[in-house]
Structure 1
Amino acid sequence: MEKLFTTRKIRLLIDSDDIDQKNKIIDTLYQWRYICFKAANQIYTHHYVQQQLREMLYLTEGVRARLSDIKKDAYGMLSTSRMNTSYQVLAQNYKGSIPMHIMSALNGNLVASFNKMSKALASGESSLPSFRKEIPIPFKGTDVKKFRSSREGAVFHFTLFDMPFKTYLGRAGDDKRELLRRLEASQVKLCTSSLALDNGKIFMLAVFQIERQEQPLDQDIIAEASLSLDYPIIVSVGNKRYTIGSKDEYLYKRLAIQAAIRRKRKAMAFMNQHSREQLRQSTIENLMQSEKRYVAHKQHVYSKRLIEICLKNKAATLLLVDQTEKE
């Protein structure tokens, strides 16, 4: 079967009532994130230098050698594999300060991404990227221990590097909850994922490996989707009728963003030219991009729900009809 990978952003809470333990875990995670920030830049720097050695034509023949393991290549200039070179640097600098499984996952991810862009770097079409301090903390799926559920699958508990966590899925977390239930039942696999910290909140960017299941569809069943003013999408399959989203649910945030843009533009009338330009380039541009991201996100969510309805009813054909109410 074909393997698929899907990522979900899951809110995590520290599974402890001890305030001191919570504060200690938060401080530790921020320290690890800072180490990952420094280590990520070091990984790219070392591999970029190694790559550029090939381009240094002004070096003597005795210095220019192949970037390979000397154990496998008599002309190799490395004492180990290229991936292991940066890992050795990380181990020398950070061993004891951070779990080395984190450094191993970080090194593997970044070496793979560096190799993909190595040609663009060598040709000068791309510059060497730098990483920010907000970089996520990667970890391997096997680092998640004691995974279990409570309250009939509403909350999931686990430990990560001996730190206790529990999930907070909210009311709209049915998709995430189903994946976690399947993870508990060993029906899906947790791959290399990461922790993201945002103003004291902890999020797990969980990557699940799923085997694609063949969906039996009936060629005689047709799903008809129409756009509406009251509901973004109305789906009819035979005698069944489904609604996706609602007018208020879709518009409330978009209208709020548009109102904020209008307020900023009105305020520009009382500013000097320099202040107006700064406001336009920073706040207003950010709000406009935020609106575009919101619309794209809603389109993705509604499209996914539409496909799920078609699969549930085994509809092999999807038709878009009656767009007279489309804005």
Structure 2
Amino acid sequence: MEQSTLKLTRKIQLLVDLPTREERKEALDTLYRWQNRSFKAANLIVTHLYVQEMIQEFFYLSEGIKYKLVDEKKDEEGILNRSRINSTYRVISDRFKGEIPTNILGNLNHNLMRTFNKKKPEYWRGERSLMNSRRDIAFPFDMEGVKGLAYDEDKKAFCFRFFSIPLKTYLGKDYSDKRRLLERVITGETKLCASHIQLKEGKTFLLAVFEIEKEKHLLKPEVVAEASLSLEYPIVVKIDKAKLNIGTREEFLYRRLAIQAARKRAQEGASYCKSGNGRKRKTKAVQRFHELEKNYVNSRLHLYSRKLIDFCVKYQAGTLILLNQEDKIGIAKEEEFVLRNWSYYELMTKIKYKAEKAGIELITG
């Protein structure tokens, strides 16, 4: 049965909600310690899971060795003295108990085991290397770690306690739906699911996962929309006799190339910039154009995918087919210019998300 909800992830900047600098520093030190312990625990979990999974490959062990990965109380051939998921949790909880909330460790263990099981066939075939967590890992938690989420009129922010640490959101110029989603969480209209906290480049982010209802439209599965993605026209869609060209080469590609040219000029001029304060200062203009291109492309692709889905809804198309994509991907991989400037996968991701949200079945051909 098709689910009536879907999950959205939104990146929300957080600030420590404490009055003095010393208190804020202490709270941030705690968060960084939790991140560090999560980084170590994640690598330990994956290592133990891999050894457990591959133990039967250790042919050089004695023939009488048992290697069934179940609790010995439930199966006489079992080699574990507890359940498999509890075995890895026990390893990290014994090592990091008191240094990090067990809620984080439990969610981390669950997430990594689920990911490991998905990739297990590739590990067996030797087609994938073992997962390796980075030091800036986003550590997971469920709603037990969030208390008192509410909007504070004086601070103009959403405030809550993350375990023992008071935090508040910093939305800035929020042109997305973050504020509306948080308001719906407070009123109980939207569910906030297990999420992550990430500390990166001196900033703290909440990777919030919201569970929302899918949009309800009067769609007919027998009405099929045929769409084609290309560099000339980002999207061309046809439903029976109705046809729509979304975007143009001049609008998307030429503007993008202009930003790239400006970035190249900034790179060439960086060597003549005044020295001092290191590489970051000299390449500030280059980084600005890099962000400008990324934001421009992201904005355009959101607009194009939105227009595509709106067109399908207007004509009640319940099925969306993307035509001849495999051939175009092959051509794009052979031509460096097309691969660099098409942004095919980003557009596909946005179309897939919006189609799922609108209840439209997406088929790629």
In the superposition, the TM-score normalised over structure 2's length comes to 0.66
Counterpart code for 1:298: S
2:346 match: none
Q: Give the alignment partner of residue 262 of structure 2, picking from 259, 271, 274.
A: 259
Cα separation, 2, equivalents of 1:142 and 1:307? 39
1:210 match: 212
Q: Secondary structure at the match of 2:58?
A: coil
Counting matched residue pairs gives 277
Q: How much has 1:173 moved relative to structure 2?
A: 4.1
Q: Say whether the 8 Å CA contact 2:218–2:316 is kept in structure 1.
A: no
Identity of aligned residues (%): 36
More moved, 50-59 vs 35-44: 50-59
Change (3 A) 1:17 1:7: same
Q: How much has 1:30 moved relative to structure 2?
A: 1.0
The structure, 1 or 2, with the larger RCO (C-alpha pairs under 8 Å, 6+ apart) is 1
Q: How much has 1:8 moved relative to structure 2?
A: 0.2
1:122 match: 124
2:53 match: 51
2:303 match: 302
Root-mean-square deviation (Å): 3.8
Q: How much has 1:198 moved relative to structure 2?
A: 1.9
2:172 match: 170
Q: Say whether the 8 Å CA contact 1:254–1:291 is kept in structure 2.
A: no
Change (3 A) 1:78 1:308: same
1:31 match: 33
Q: Give the alignment partner of residue 155 of structure 1, picking from 157, 161, 173.
A: 157
Q: Secondary structure at the match of 2:315?
A: strand
Give unpaired runs (5+ residues) of structure 1.
219-231, 234-243, 269-285, 319-327
Cα separation, 2, equivalents of 1:189 and 1:107? 23
2:7 match: 5
Q: Aligned runs of 1:285-324 on 2, under 5 Å?
A: 294=295, 296-303=297-304, 305-306=306-307, 315-316=314-315
Cα separation, 1, equivalents of 2:155 and 2:263? 40
Q: Secondary structure at the match of 1:54?
A: helix
More moved, 117-126 vs 288-297: 288-297
Change (3 A) 1:304 1:13: farther
Could you give the per-residue CA deviations for residues 148-204 of structure 1, whole angstroms, max 9, x where no partner exists? Answer: 113399521111112111111122244001110111011121111111112221110
1:182 match: 184
